[in-house]
Amino acid sequence: MVIRTALTGLTALTLTAPSGFLAPIEWGRDPLTVDALPRVVYTAHRGGALEVPENSMAGLRAAFQRGTAQVIDFDTRMLRDGTLVVMHDETLDRTTYAAGPVRLLDRYAWHGVLLRPAPALPGRWRPERAPTVEEVLDRFGGRIMLMLEAKDPRSIRELARLIRARGLARSVFVNSNSPAVARQAHHLGLLTQLWRSKKQMRTDRPARWRGFVDVLDVDYKARDRDLLRAVNSGIPRVWAHTVTTARQRDRVLRLGCNGVITDAPGLLARTPVKRLARTPAKRPRAPRAARRA
């Protein structure tokens, strides 16, 4: 057990946390869990990549402070020494000032990587050091639900260790495109999320996954019939990705999805949902003789 003492004026506050890390000082008695999520959930994809620098500590912090999403999403990759870091791409080229494959770095080299904010982002953002998964879990774990996509399937056991050591097994969704990886994460005691593309959804039979998938993460571009099959699969949460407009959001909610994963959580939070009643199915006309009877 780790004990942290904080001084506020003349009062000393002692906070306890699981062995191996320091809990954010803002934690209450217990971490926030999946049970606290509302009926319709907004997830800030990579922190809200149209509004903040994706997968950056500053971007994740802004997403948290703005309060426009109940879940914050980020991506994870594994370095050559097993360190888990926050990064979407296989290479450093697009989002940093460096270049080359992420997997060739070690922890020491990673601490020298600077993120390059996209120039089109609103506001003023500075370059900053790329975070590790441990740093994000220690900063935000238990304060808001987190969603992390495991880009390296071999990292699942280490992710499970980091999450369980912090008492966050009910506070972090682990996302993958592979049903086998989702099943493995479930067996390790984690909340599992399975994402599927528009093409995959044409032949998916999602009811087969309801025993080990907590969130089915569907492509908003999928056909209505494929979205409805997902919604009626028995999986409790069906969230659509990656939504950027109110019109896209309103369609998937109308079809029965109970969450959206969005690059623009601020925009959607400012735009009310346009409620459109579902068109009732037409009942077949009875034969004329039966109608007379």
For the chain, 293 residues long, give each residue's pLDDT as a single digit of tens: 333 333 333 333 333 333 333 444 344 568 999 999 999 999 999 999 999 999 999 999 999 999 999 999 999 999 999 999 999 999 999 999 999 999 999 999 999 999 999 999 999 999 999 999 999 999 999 999 999 999 999 999 999 999 999 999 999 999 999 999 999 999 999 999 999 999 999 999 999 999 999 999 999 999 999 999 999 999 999 999 999 999 999 999 999 999 999 999 999 999 999 976 654 444 445 444 444 34
Q: In this predicted structure, what is the pLDDT of residue 69?
A: 98
Which regions of the chain does DSSP assign to beta strands (E)? 2-8, 11-17, 41-44, 71-78, 84-86, 114-115, 128-129, 145-150, 172-176, 191-195, 215-219, 237-243, 259-262
Q: In this predicted structure, what is the pLDDT of residue 15?
A: 33
Q: How far apart are CA 254 and CA 286, in angstroms?
A: 30
- 50 Cβ contact partners less than 8 Å away, ≥ 6 residues apart: 121, 244, 263, 264, 267
Q: How far apart are CA 152 and CA 174, in angstroms?
A: 12
Model-level pTM? 0.85
